[in-house]
Amino acid sequence: MTDQKRHFGEFKLIAGNANLPLAIKIAKELGLSLENSKVGRFPDGEVKVDLDCVVRGTDVFIIQPICQSHYSPLGRPCLTAERGAPTGRMKEICTYQSINDNLVELLVMIDAARRASAGRITAVVPYMAYAKQEKKKKGHEPITAKLVANLITTAGADRLLTVDLHTPAIEGFFDIPVDHMRMALLMGAHFRDKLGLRDAVVVSPDAGGVARATEFRNHLKAHLAHDIAGDEMAIAIKRRTPEDEPTIMEMVGDVAGRPAVIFDDIIQSGGTLLEVVKLLKARGATAVHAAVVHADLTPGAAEAVAQSPLESLVLSDTTASAKEVAGGKIKILSTARILAHAIWRVHTQQSVGWIFDTLGDKGKLPKFKR
């Protein structure tokens, strides 16, 4: 440890039930184990936390994406038995864990760490849900991205480490430092080096995603001659019906006779992605691939992707759903190494920008070494 300054003697990794495989992978990258904290439920469903480790004065990292999980490791008695159902029904085990469950687990874990005198608490939230409501589109609507930022801060987090916020402006909703990792670098390098798709046209599925897709394109086409690297992108113009179904109205850009790669931050129903695939095929794209950072999938989405003409879909593992649907045309790129390096760099007061520089230069990060 030459130029590293530790302001907190030790660091501890604590995880809830949102995405344990990712938390374990991050710990493994760091050569550590997760603390043996217990995050469960009281019989009425309230979140019950026992950190079960000494955090006084330490640098605590709480790993908990605000995602849903259809197969949570928590598995708890199902409280949804119909009125009048035999009591035995109450013993059914529920494994579905909602975004709201995972949000409250995060807040309660932060509260426990604060009350146990943690020196510093970093909320590691690889997927930040509620982020799509980041502004009022009409009167009488909430701004849930700000509400969630307030909840995390009020619970006691001193910092946030996150991945691909729906819009970077959400960083400003937090009055604590935010380290914002972006998957465009790793995913762009994957399409460039592993899939050899440098000549593809990059497609943003909506106007709001253009900056994100531009960064992805810059990495996909890094080191190429200007006439190819300077390609314009294609941008779809999306509207949503009052029922929230996406409709692609138009597309700017030429894709005829070339492969296309769509880059988006979130897939939920798959509606947006598959509408864009349809239009790209109609406009003459030779093959359509996609990369999406967060898989917050609703039932039926993976099947719809499987049956579509999409050739391949790359997701990250920020959510539990990603792992649940991996296989076939769906491949997962892990965020674990990026997050492990970021945690260590936050802990030792080193530049987090090094992660972006290294990914930009080499397309991958070295194995973590202390």
Q: Which residues bind ligand R5P (CB under 6 A)?
A: 132, 205-206, 208-209, 246, 264-273
* Residue entry with tokens 């005198």: 117
Q: 32: which 2 tokens?
A: 């550590």
Closer Cβ to ligand R5P, 123 or 266, answer by number = 266
Measured distance CA(305)–CA(325) in Å, rounded = 10
Q: Where are the beta strands (DSSP E) in 74-189?
A: 76-77, 93-94, 120-125, 159-163, 178-181
292 contacts: CB under 8 Å, gap ≥ 6: 262, 263, 264, 265, 266, 267, 273, 313, 314, 315
Give strand pairing partners of 312. 289
Of 25, 238, 364, 369, catalytic: 238
Measured distance CA(230)–CA(167) in Å, rounded = 25
Q: Encode 227-241: b = buried (16+ Cβ within 10 Å), e = exposed.
A: eeeebebbbbebeee
Q: Shortest gap between Cβ of 59 and ligand R5P (angstroms)? A: 33
Closer Cβ to ligand R5P, 94 or 304, answer by number = 304
Q: Shortest gap between Cβ of 126 and ligand R5P (angstroms)? A: 16
Task: Name the DSSP class of 300.
Answer: T
* Residue entry with tokens 């300054």: 5
Closest-CA residue to 40 (of 88, 80, 73): 73
* Residue entry with tokens 């692609």: 248
First-to-last CA distance in the chain?
7
Beta strand pairing status for 234-240 and 246-252? antiparallel
Closer Cβ to ligand R5P, 85 or 252, answer by number = 252
Closer Cβ to ligand R5P, 13 or 184, answer by number = 184
Q: Shortest gap between Cβ of 93 and ligand R5P (angstroms)? A: 29
Q: Shortest gap between Cβ of 203 and ligand R5P (angstroms)? A: 12
Rg (CA), the chain: 21
Number of helices and strands in the chain (H, E): 11, 16
Closer Cβ to ligand R5P, 15 or 293, answer by number = 293
Closer Cβ to ligand R5P, 65 or 205, answer by number = 205
Q: Shortest gap between Cβ of 306 and ligand R5P (angstroms)? A: 15
Q: Shortest gap between Cβ of 232 and ligand R5P (angstroms)? A: 21
Give strand pairing partners of 235. 204, 252
364 is catalytic: no
8 A C-beta contact, residue 183 and residue 317: no
- Tell me which residues are annotated as active site: 238
